[in-house]
Amino acid sequence: MARLPDRLGPLVLSQQLGLGRQCQVWSCKDDSLGRQVAVKILQTGYDDDRLQRRQLEHELAVGRSLDHPGVIRLDRLTVYEGFPCLVMELFPHPNLRRFVTGSRDRLLSRLPKILLGVSEALAHMHARGWVHRDIKPANVLANRAGEIKVIDFAIAARPPGALGRLLWRRQQPQGTPSYMAPEQIRGQPPDPRSDVYSLGCMAFELLGGHPPFTGSNTHELLSRHLYNAPPGVEASNANVSAAASKLLREMMAKRAADRPAAGDVARQLHQLRLYDREPTPPAAADGGDGSN
């Protein structure tokens, strides 16, 4: 992408937080609000793409319908200097993907609070009529206290009613292969329990150090989601309690109807012990995780 100007309208760009194929995310000072914000900016080459613009409009509509401390707040979508900009709350902490790729020991002690927070955020989304459809480590930000923000509502969708399910035509699967529920893979209607499956896969990876299913190619990976029984996470982390391992297997049940709702997951996580022995928190002087 061509270098952005230092200012886009009232937004004074300060630090790039993320870079994707279609957009990049920056922290900014928003002079119109008088505070720091984050902004998602469409990449050059996509700024006139109607589909990408509609996705940002959709993401804003979803975000504005939500009101939960575990969900990122979205403010507005506007065009500055020819760049469509989605302005949102700034939560200046890394996503969970960073820990999976090399700092998992710094995550384990706060993981009970993180997983509880994500399940509560999803329960709120589902109560407001939305399925996120892309729950994964990269879409959850977390600070050292275990507080989280679920982000990226680009492919969130509302479940159809009874008639809509009857008339539903199979669609192209949307989501991330390592975390997709069987019904997502089959292109079936959006279902809140698909998010529960994805959360189970994410929790397994954070606890065990690798996803529950892998494959030499995407077809093999998706086939394992469809047909292989979910593995027990205790084989990869012997400190995970039997109750937590059982809950993860229930969350990754092949049939959506056999999975608990997100609210039930939150209640169980609040009651059970995730570990047999509490992991030792890392020393405060270990260099941190880039968060405060």
Give the DSSP letter of residue 38. E
Cα–Cα distance between 56 and 76 in angstroms, integer?
10
The set of long-range contacts for 25-32, using a CB threshold of 8 Å and a minimum separation of 24, is 27/90, 27/92, 30/87
Q: Is 6 a catalytic residue?
A: no
Measure CA 189 to chain center: 20
Q: How many helices (H) and strands (E) does the chain have?
A: 9, 8
> How far, CA to CA in Å, does 47 sit from each of 50, 52, 59, 289?
8, 8, 16, 33
CA atoms within 13 A on the CB side of 291: 20
> Which sign, positive or negative, has the C-alpha torsion 40, 41, 42, 45?
negative
Cα–Cα distance between 73 and 63 in angstroms, integer?
6
Instruction: Mention every residue, 6+ apart, whose C-beta is less than 8 A from residue 108.
Output: 207, 275, 279
Catalytic residue among 75, 134, 191, 289: 134
Beta bridge partners of 141: 95, 149
Active site (catalytic) residues: 134
